[in-house]
Structure 1
Amino acid sequence: MYRPIAFTLLLCSALPVAAATDQALQQYRELSQTLAQKDQQVFSQELRDSGREQPLEAPPTKRFGFDPNPEDAYFHTDDAKRIADIILSYQTPSGGWSKRTDMSLEPRQPGQMLGVEKHYIPTFDNGATTTQIWFLARTYNTSKTPRYAQGVERAIKLIMQAQYPNGGWPQNFPLTGGYHDYITYNDEAMGKLLRVIEAAANRREPLQFISPELAKQAQDSFAQGIQAVLDTQVVVDGKRTIWGAQHEADTLAPINARKFEPVALATAESAELVEFLMTLDAPSDALKQAISAAHDWFAANQLHGLAWEKDKDGHNVLVKKPGAGPIWGRFCEIGSNKPVVGDRDGSVHYDVMEISQERRDGYAWYTDKPAEILKDYPEWSAKHL
């Protein structure tokens, strides 16, 4: 049975940071509105010019329809350029991309929607925008076709525009409201954005072609992003832990998103983030402390003798299995560190078998991603500590 620990008893909060001025936040929101209006105006004009009364729907798919990370040889083929041109056709006027839209079939037609979920245009969710950047960059490096580089630079500019004054990123930008406006680690959004900005800041392959001016802007953006990482690392009783799936954009406190996603520490996303942070050449002392604290939390909260697997009917179950593990709960209660799961009615449980079968089968409630941190940490600590 789930009995939440009183939040006020945890002494849990994000580390204090200098609050962004009201003027900076107001300017940020005004920019969001301006870009949203531009996207809509450009599309409305395109729809009128096409002579269509209703827009054509975009083709749906689970991700994007193309292989996001093919071998280098593929980018010397005509098919790579074909996909790159389709990707460009779905780039919004503001510079990003939607998710769940098939970008492998044919270029978007005039008057066709820019994505299957219009309220998610553009988004950083599920690898959207960052995936397209990497693909276009790798295609440009083999073809030297200017429009691919231009598409990449437009998208990087959007990412920097989308960054909150405190350094974090929302799930969608322009802002669309609700949990989409929270600083989002869920589905690795922050981690994926930081990887792009770090490569841009250092003009590192495959982004070595971007302009020095954009690289300088990316350096500042990356520094702000790392500060946001430090400021949002959840602290309990004065001790750093890991990160939430979402954090409020103003207070930086962890917060829930959809009804089945409770306020909690997010292990998979935190592991992906730490994996990236451990690749940085010269981490600051503060960042070293953050990485070490996250490692210690992972080490202290691993589960052994349990397996998250399919039963004979194909349903997800958590079963006892000698020798299995380690695994971690996808979400862990702040304070107790117990795995917690949620259902569509907003209820929260300690036992995954208590929630509906639909949610048990439809969400990754357990993960083994932190195992990579435990494996790589000794080499990292020997180098940096």
Structure 2
Amino acid sequence: MKITKLFTLSLIGSFLLHSCSSDDDNNIAEPTPPESAAYTNGVFVVNEGSQSTGTVSFLDAASTSIENNIFETVNPEMDLGKFVQSMFFDEDNAYIIANGSNLITVVDRYTFEYKGQVDSGLNIPYYGVVYDGKAYVTNLADFSTGTDDFIAVIDLTSLEVEETVVAGTYLDFVDEEDGVIYVEGASFGTGNAVHAFDPATNSITKTYTTVEGVNSFEIEGEQLFALSSSQLQVFNLDSGEETYHIDFPEEVNSARNLVFENDMFYFTSGLAVYGLAETATTFPEESLFEFTDVITLYAFDVEDGFIWTGDAKDYASAGTVRIYNNSGELENEFEVGVNPNSFYFID
């Protein structure tokens, strides 16, 4: 999903693609939806927008039809704000982050009816996660430095920011695992850490030191896997120590978008897709395939054996979502909003 330190830096963000999916991260567990719910089984597509406001599209479970601008359809005369970066979920609610408007919009996750907003205490919010009735949202603040990046702790009953925790380091993607919140300590190619944040004390309790420019990570079992442009590092989750790493060949120098699915790691380098077994210790001999019809790879994910891409094209026109099989054959494609940057699978 695609980095959006926008305002005057929109094009910089467009070149820094970030995947935030794993086997579970973007698979949203389903409570029992109401019978009238329209969005219970399928895929949400977040469209970042550009000079226009961001939007959300919904693709049905069979991947046969797309509905664009679902928030505006359900809530006429309202919009989500500028530069919609990401979504996160909790029970019956979905929270949609618009970092250009310093806004988090709360909707019913099944009907997309508006329920409220977090509209104060934020400064370029980016990614969020819910734990024990609170949301933990990374904020980028001043683009020129990471020293003022902070985590906003939000009470989900009042929708008020009750505390801000300045980390003193770059912050980006956030995930929760077994009551610990893991935060990528890098942004826009700068930074060399993944941090473990304890919600009981609202403090960073452990740091996994990576090479410079870590851009995505996954947690599987007792290990943390961190991807930079030319290396995959594996850390012991408890000790924080690196156990091994895989160096990439010289020609693979722009690796991004680490995704774990069905005992395999996937990532991209340019328009090439690579696959690694979970237990692999060496780089694969060749890529799985290369995208030939994607102009600007802005979103990447893997789900149920299919590879999903969001093509931002010229960053101003309607984007395209394409679905491929593992051999790189195109299964289907759909026109969506401007700058499709992430997918959230509902099943």
Please report the TM-score for the alignment, with normalisation by the length of structure 2: 0.30
Higher strand share: 2
- Larger helix share, 1 or 2: 1
Asked which structure has the greater RCO (Cα within 8 Å, sep 6+), the reply is 2
**TM-score calculated relative to the size of structure 1:** 0.28
Structure possessing the higher radius of gyration over alpha carbons: 1
